[in-house]
Amino acid sequence: MTTDSAIQDVVFSEEAIHERVRELGREISSAYSAEDRLVVIGVLKGSFLFMADLVRVIEIPHGIDFLMASSYGDSMVSRGEVALLHDPKTDLEGRAVLLVEDIVDTGTTLSVLLPHLEERGASRVDVVALLHKRLTSGLVEPRWVGFDAPNSFLVGYGLDHAETFRHLPYIASL
């Protein structure tokens, strides 16, 4: 059972996501070299499917790790505070970090995570976000964006509402 009566529209199909992730993989692969000692860090839990698909199309050798930041909980709006719940164990000193986010909304999460990863000694930190709602102040912009997202609450392909719908292979609006 992969559908629910609360889901309104499929916004990005499984095929569209697959195609865009392959393009992102090509762009990212051409932006790094082996000397960058790239480490790809996924923001749990929302990025887990995107991360799994993306790393399989990045052709530069890279490490994999995850971090966890506090989420919206059951709410559909940002509380404006972000706590780091899990810090990557990987030594980031002198390494290029690619942070993998499911969706950027207000940019609050990134504005906390980026300085933290820089303090951990990363030589550079870039962000790839599958979705971007473009509601940010513009201070923290991802280097790569999969899709511009409508300003509705989205679920599926990792994104949840109150921990439901993460497993959907497509992205839909509630």
Name the residues annotated as catalytic.
Answer: 105
Pick the stretch among 13-21, 27-35, 43-51, 166-174 that binds Mg ion (CB under 5 A).
Answer: 43-51
Give the count of beta carbons closer than 10 Å to the beta carbon of residue 154. 25
Q: What residue type is 124 in one-letter code? A: R
Task: Single out the residue of 107, 142, 146, 156 in contact with ligand IMP (rule: CB under 6 A).
Answer: 107
Question: Number of residues in contact with ligand IMP, rule: CB under 6 A?
Answer: 16
Pick what 105 binds: ligand IMP, Mg ion, none; C-beta below 5 to 8 Å, kind-dependent: ligand IMP
Q: 114 with 125: CB under 8 angstroms?
A: yes
Is 36 near ligand IMP (CB under 6 A)? no
Is 46 near Mg ion (CB under 5 A)? yes
Coil, strand or helix: which one is 46? coil
Residues ≥6 apart with Cβ < 8 Å to 25: 54, 56, 57, 58, 59
Q: What residue type is 169 in one-letter code? A: P
Pick what 48 binds: Mg ion, ligand IMP, none; C-beta below 5 to 8 Å, kind-dependent: none
Is 7 near ligand IMP (CB under 6 A)? no
**What is the DSSP secondary-structure string of 94-129?**
T-EEEEEEEEESSSHHHHHHHHHHHHTT-SEEEEEE
Pick what 147 binds: ligand IMP, Mg ion, none; C-beta below 5 to 8 Å, kind-dependent: none
**Minimum CB separation from ligand IMP for residue 111, in Å?**
8
Residue with tokens 């499911």: 102
Per CB under 5 A, residues contacting Mg ion are 46, 102
Per CB under 6 A, residues contacting ligand IMP are 46, 71-72, 78, 101-109, 153-154, 159
